[in-house]
Amino acid sequence: MITLKPSKVGGSIWIPASKSQTIRALLIALAARGRSIVRNPLYSADTLSCIEALRALGCRLCINDDSIEVDSSTLQCSGRDITIDTGNSGTTTYLLYGLLGTLGCSSVTLKGDEQLNRRPIGPLVEAYRDLGLEGGCTQGRPPVVITGALEGGSTSIECPTSQYLSSLLLSLPLARRDSEVDIPLLYEKPYVSMTLDWLDRQGIAYDMRDDLQHLRMKGGQHYHPFDERISGDFSSASFFLVAAAITGCTLTLKGLDMDDSQGDKGVIDILVAMGCSVECTEEGITVTGGRPLHGGTFDLNSMPDALPALSVLGAVTDGPLTLTNVANARIKETDRIACMTRNLRLLGLEVDEMEDGLTVHPGPIDGGVTVPGYGDHRMIMAMAVLSLIARNGLTIDDEKAADVTFPTFFSLLERVKGGSE
């Protein structure tokens, strides 16, 4: 439990590396069958779960302060029954799934914590069955037992989470035969672009057509050992971007790459539309909150993880703030639409909950209450940012869950309250 007081913010901070990029790098290093180096990785609960998964499969890892060396030439999978606990990491669970069918294991059981075991995996299991990889789970949720080998072939899958398609993109180059995949529904497209960037760097041959609705993948390909640096995480940065916006202050965020394909960099465009000033230089991204902030309607389909952070801005806009086309936010660590609605109402705001989003009506935040974090890192960080304008501060019931993606969040928040480097 942590109690936070209202405050202005200022100064500059370095944003930690991208969780999504770190996990993709680690999984490609697993498949590359050699020695790879991942520089500037994120060390968080989710990425540590991925690291432990690689160790369970027999990878030799050397963990340094600023790099991870992965030697996957030491894999010990053939004929083994392996159990892998991916903790709270949905990214690791989904993206690792198909790769397990290329390692020669007798069977692999994938399981996670209580939250992860409530997240749907059935559509991915069914798609991989079409491609030769057998999986068994109860009511379409983990744990799942994976047997057989990834043969390739054809399938169709709706992707309310982009992680389904990213899983197929990572594994199908290693299938024994060519594959075709129809994708009639796809949310979070920038995360797919992120995966395709990694395939391009690896020289993987594929054909992605019709605005990511049809995939042709050549089988029998190979990944190669690499040495790559991970850039800063726009998903993590969004909370500090919003901190500057909601307080009307100026912050400079370092370590971010505007050429990166991360979808959450779209938060910057939304803040500009709401009246903030944003300057991107070699020094970093400097954001100054506008006054007043403008309400409006914003489509978050490509950046559902930004919903908690952006929702808190509705308290200080000059009209209603609507975040829409983001029904997939309901199948994250929590139902983030419902949980944000409950918390903002608890703090006295009028909120209209919709199936695919919410509308927040502006109003004062007195605070002085305890709000639940629901064990969800992004909910917790959003409430922490809202505490900056809560007249009597806020208490959050479980701050440790922020460690899933951003273990230094609260120390950096205290630093910007002091306005220091």
Residues annotated as catalytic are 305
CA distance linking residue 72 with residue 46, whole number of Å? 20
Asked whether the CA dihedral 249, 254, 259, 260 is positive or negative, the reply is negative
SS3 for 184? coil
Neighbours of 213 (CB within 10 A): 13
Six token digits for residue 167: 């899983």
Strand stretches in 125-249, DSSP E: 133-138, 141-148, 153-156, 179-182, 206-209, 214-217, 227-229
Asked whether the CA dihedral 211, 215, 218, 222 is positive or negative, the reply is positive
Confirm if 276 and 245 have CB atoms less than 8 A apart: yes
DSSP state of 231: P
- Which distant-in-sequence residues (6+ apart) come within 8 Å of 221 by Cβ? 173, 174, 204, 205
Concatenated DSSP letters for 250-297? EEEEES--TTS--GGGHHHHHHHHTT-EEEE-SS-EEEE--SSBP-EE
Confirm if 360 and 311 have CB atoms less than 8 A apart: yes
Peptide bond preceding 143: is omega within 30 degrees of 0, i.e. cis?
yes
CA distance linking residue 245 with residue 370, whole number of Å? 24
Helices marked H in 348-406: 377-386
Specify the DSSP element, H or E, that contains 27: helix 19-31
What phi and psi, each to the nearest 5 degrees, are found at residue 351? -135, 130
